[in-house]
Amino acid sequence: MTVVDAIDWTSAGVPLLVAVGAIVVLVVDAFWPAGGWRRSGTLAIASLAAAAAWLANGGSSGAIVAGFSWVILLSALAVVLLAQVLEDDAQMPAGESGFLLLSATAGALTLAAADDFVTLVVALELLSLPSIALVAMRRDRAAAVSSAWTFFIASATATAITLMGLSLLYGVTGTLTYEGVLVGLQDDRVPERTTAVVVVLVLVGLVFKVGAVPFHLWIPDAYRGASVPVAAFLSVVSKGGALAALLVVLAYPFLPLQPRWDIFIAVVAALSMTIGNLGALAQRDVVGMLAWSSIAQGGFVLAPLVAVSLGSDDILSAPLRYLAVYAIANLTVFAVAAVGLRTLGGTSYAHYAGVARRQPLFGVALVMGLLALAGFPPAVIGLVAKYVVLQPVMLGGYAWLAVVMAFNVALGLVYYLRLVVVAFAPADRVDEGAVVTGAAVRGGRGTTIAYSVVAIGVVLLLATSVYPTLVFGPLP
C-alpha cells in the first residue's frame, strides 16, 4: 500500500504558480531593490492572478476545494494591496515580505488541496514558517520578535503533536493517503482507544492554525507584534487553509471515527466562541479586538463540522460560505485599521473617536464590517451566515451548541457595536481608557490603494446584504 499518492498536477498548479511568483519576487528584489512595494506588489498580484486563471480553468479537485482556494487567493490579493500603505518599508520590507506572503499563501492553497497526510504536514509548515517570519519582520517594534518566538514555539509544539498522531495512524493503517486511511480505519480490528488518541493528536495542528481554543494564545500576541496587513493575513488566509484541510480530513479519511471527534470539535467550537468574545470585550484597540474576535469567529466556523457525517452538500459547504463572509467583513475592518494607522496615527479606540463624522467611508465600512461579523442587520449577509452555520448544528443534534452560539452572537454584538459608537461619537465624549500615541501623516499612493480596498469591501458587503444569494445561492 502506498504511503502517499502520486502528484495531481492539475490541482498542484495553483499553489505552484504562487510559489514560483514568490521566488520571482525575491530574486527581482535581490538584484533590483529600488522598486519597493510598487514593483514587489505588482509581481505578487501577477502571480496571484495567474493562479486564479489556472483555478478558473478547472485547476482544482472539487467544488469545495475550489471555493476555499478562491477565498485564499482573493484574501491574499487584498493583503498585498493593504501592504502598499506601508510605503516606508519599516513595517514590511517589500521584497522579503512579498516572498513570505506568497510562500505562506502557497502553503494555505496546498493545505486545501492535499490528499495525503504527508502533504498536509509539509503544507502546514509552508504556511507556518513564513507567517512566523512575517510577524518578526516588523522593524519598528521590538515586541515583534517576542511575538514571533511565541508563535514559533506554539507552532512547533502543535506540529510535533500532529506528527506523533500521524506515526500512530501509520502504525494502525499502514498508509498516510486519505483513501488508504479511510479503508484502514474501517477495519474492526483497529483498537478504539488508539483511534481516539490518533484523532485528537492529528487534529491539534489544524485546530492550532484555525486559532481555536485551547490552541489560541499565540494569536493576540502575534497580532500585536505584526503589522496590520500581516495580522489580516493571519486572520483569513491562514485560517482558510487550515479550515479547508480540517473539513476534508473529517469528511473523508476520518469519517469512520465521527463518534470520536464530533464532541471534540463541538467543545472546541463552544470554548472558542465564548473565550474569544470575552477576550474581545476587554480590548480598547482595533487590532487587539480583531485578534480575539478571530478566535470567536473560529468557533463559529468550526461548529457546522459536527454534522459533516450527514453528507449534505449544504452542510459540507457551510464552513466555506461562512468563511467567505468573514473574509470580506474582516478584511474591510482591517483595511480601515491599515488606513487609520497612517492617517489617524494609531489603532486605539481613542484614535477612532468621531472618525465616521470626518470620514463617512470609515463610518459605513465599520458599520457594515463589524455588524456583518456580529450577524446583525443592516449587514444582512452576516445574519444569513450565522443561520447557515447554525442549521447544521441543529440537524446534527447539538442543541446545546446552538444555544452557546446564540449567546455568543449577543455577546459579540456588544463589543462590535462599542467600536461603531466610538466612531460616530464626538471625540471629547469618548473615554475608552486608551492613550493616543503617534501622529497622523499625509496619505500617499499606498493609502489611496488601501482606501480602495475599504471601498470595495463596503460595496461587497452592501451588495451581498441586498442579494445574499451572491454568496450562498438558494438557501435551504
Picking from 139, 66, 129, the residue whose alpha carbon sits closest to that of residue 99 is: 129
DSSP bridge partners of 263 = none
pLDDT above 90 coverage of the chain, percent: 30
User: How far is Cα 473 from Cα 476, in angstroms, rounded to an integer?
Assistant: 9
> Quick check: 193 pLDDT over 90?
no
Low-confidence winner among 139-143, 256-260, 330-334, 340-344 (lowest mean pLDDT) = 139-143
Residue with cell 511565541: 150
Instruction: Tell me 45's DSSP state.
Output: H
For 37, 203, 268, 275, 401, the CA distances from 215, given in Å and listed in that order, are 34, 11, 10, 12, 20
State the average pLDDT over residues 149-158. Answer: 89
State the average pLDDT over residues 80-88. Answer: 74
Low-confidence winner among 136-150, 277-291, 321-335, 390-404 (lowest mean pLDDT) = 136-150
> Quick check: 341 pLDDT over 50?
yes
User: How far is Cα 115 from Cα 2, in angstroms, rounded to an integer?
Assistant: 13
- Contact of 356 with 424, CB cutoff 8 Å: yes
pLDDT tens-place string over residues 251-264: 888 888 888 888 88
**Single-letter code of the amino acid located at 441:** V
> Quick check: 366 pLDDT over 60?
yes
pLDDT tens-place string over residues 99-127: 999 999 999 999 888 888 999 999 999 99
User: How far is Cα 248 from Cα 154, in angstroms, rounded to an integer?
Assistant: 24
> Quick check: 219 pLDDT over 80?
yes
